[in-house]
Structure 1
Amino acid sequence: MCGRFAVTLPQDAMAQLFEARPANDLPEVPNYNVCPTNPVHVIHLGEAGRQLESMRWGFIPHWYKAPNDGPLLINARAETLAEKPAFRAAARSRRALIPATGFYEWTKDAEGVRYPWYITRQDGAPLAFAALWQDWEAEGQHLRTAAIVTCAANEQMGRIHHRMPVVLAPEDWALWLGEEGKGAAPLMRPAPEETLTAHRVDRKVNSNRAAGPELIEPIED
């Protein structure tokens, strides 16, 4: 799964990397502790091509009468999103990318103590998570929302957690966004082994109020 991540890429660099037109209300960067329901950077196709916008991390199905009217859908399972009522329409026509510098995952010891890991690309390049987005409106309230697509972990990441976000290579961005026609389903797979690297970080990131670059600094196991 993906329940917390960091984004440090400047907004202008983000727009240039993804060749997207940026909105004026993008979330502030750097943010070393992006949490569910926070605004996140999302690249999607608009009328004028790729758009870089702010969306709420937490997909809200159209039938919710309020944002908290059901489970908080921060992730969409790749194996079932084409059939799930909440995601199937978005999987066909509202696919997106969510940029990140790295993401966090946790392991537990025999006593149930949670130990955080920070996971990045080995080559230092930004991550691009496969995502879905949805407009939601009720009683005059309008939100644009998104969820990160996850898949079974590869062997390397499986040592930490059994799920991982779908990380898309740059050559796959256009197909996922729908710019190169259909056939994006095969992209929903684990990243190749050795694409990512992980290191332990301080347990202070267990708090959603923690902030600062020290959250991603490696510590001794």
Structure 2
Amino acid sequence: MCGRFTITDPIEEIMERYYASIAEGYEYKPNYNAAPMQFIPTIIGSKDGNRLGSLRWGLVPNWAKDEKIGNKMINARAETLTEKPAFKRLISSKRCIIPCSGFYEWKKDGSVKQPMRILMKDDSIFSLAGLYDTWIDPEGNKLSTCTIITTEPNSLMADIHDRMPVILRPQDEADWLNKESDKESVLRLLSPHEADEMIAYKVDSAVGNVRNNNEELIREVS
């Protein structure tokens, strides 16, 4: 699964990276411990270009009776997207990108779980593939949410966890965001990222507490 990540780059760099404008009312701040049920930065494509805004992490399908279902929908397995009622209609036109500077996963070492941070070797921003939806409560209030798609691990991640988030190649990002892209072609993008472009290192166990959110969390520990 993918349950924590970081996005710490300046907003100007994120906007330039995705050729994006800012959605009305959006206020960005770096996040060293992004967690489910938080509002996270997201990129959505539109006829007017890419927009940077926020969606709450934990998908609430538009047909849901209760928004609490989002707690169970933080990830969507790439292998079963076209089968699950919550995801199969979204893959055709409600795709988004979650900008990321690194993600956390916990590696089992005997009875201990060691938190690891995984990122690109060049420390660049990368794109997690996501889906989004909008739910309306009985009072008519809208809640826009998202989920992060996961896939089988590459050789780097296999030693840490049995799943990893789908990381889109830069050359595939435009197709992923384009609502007119063929469903079968975008499904083919949901494969493990090249392991030789990534690195992983140990971080402090403080990252396990969602209340902790500071630069110390991404420092490598021995």
| TM-score with structure 1 setting the length | 0.94
Q: Which residue of 2 aligns with 1:57?
A: 57
Q: What is the aligned partner in structure 2 of residue 211 from structure 1?
A: 213
1:109: how far off? 2.8
SS in 1 for 2:143: strand
1:17-166 aligned at under 5 Å gives the runs 17-69=17-69, 71-111=71-111, 113-139=112-138, 140-166=140-166
**More displaced, 150-159 or 7-16?**
7-16
- Counterpart contact for 1:27–1:41, Cα < 8 Å: no
How far apart are residue 26 of structure 1 and its match?
3.1
Q: Could you say what the CA RMSD is over the residues aligned between the two structures, in angstroms?
A: 1.5
TM-score normalised per structure 2: 0.93
Contact 1:119 1:199 in 2 (8 A): yes
> In structure 2, what residue type is equivalent to 1:213?
E
Give the corresponding residue for 2:175. Answer: 175
Q: CA deviation at 1:69?
A: 4.2
CA distance in structure 2 between the partners assigned to 1:28 and 1:177 by the alignment: 21
Distance 1:93 1:78, change over 3 A: same
Worse-matched range after superposition: 208-217 or 56-65: 56-65
Q: How many Å separate the matches in 2 of 1:215 and 1:47?
A: 38
In 1, the alpha carbon distance for the partners of 2:179 and 2:173 equals: 9
* Distance (Å, rounded) in 2 between the aligned partners of 1:197 and 1:71: 29
Aligned residue among 173, 193, 199 for 1:197: 199
| Partners of 1:27 and 1:76 in 2: CA distance | 27
Q: Unaligned 5+ residue runs, structure 1?
A: none
In structure 1, what residue type is equivalent to 2:91?
A
Q: Number of aligned residue pairs: give it.
A: 219
| C-alpha deviation, 1:178, in angstroms | 2.2
2:199 maps to amino acid: T
Residue-by-residue CA offset, 1:94-135 (whole Å, 9 max, x unaligned): 111000110000012322x32100011012111110110101
CA apart distance, 1:30: 1.4
Which residue in 1 is equivalent to 2:189? 187
Partners of 1:215 and 1:204 lie apart in 2 by: 7
Identity %: 39
What 5-or-longer segments of structure 2 have no aligned partner? none
Q: Which sits farther off after the overlay, 130-139 or 68-77?
A: 68-77
Question: Structure 2 counterpart of 1:190, which letter?
Answer: P
Alpha carbons 1:135, 1:144 under 8 Å: kept:
yes
Whole-Å separation in 2 of the counterparts to 1:142 and 1:216? 34
Shift of 1:192: 1.1
Deviates further, 74-83 or 10-19: 10-19
- Cα distance 1:70–1:125, how it changes in 2: closer, same or farther (>3 A)? closer
Aligned-residue offset at 1:71? 4.9
Distance 2:208 2:71 in 1: 21
CA positional deviation for 1:141: 2.4
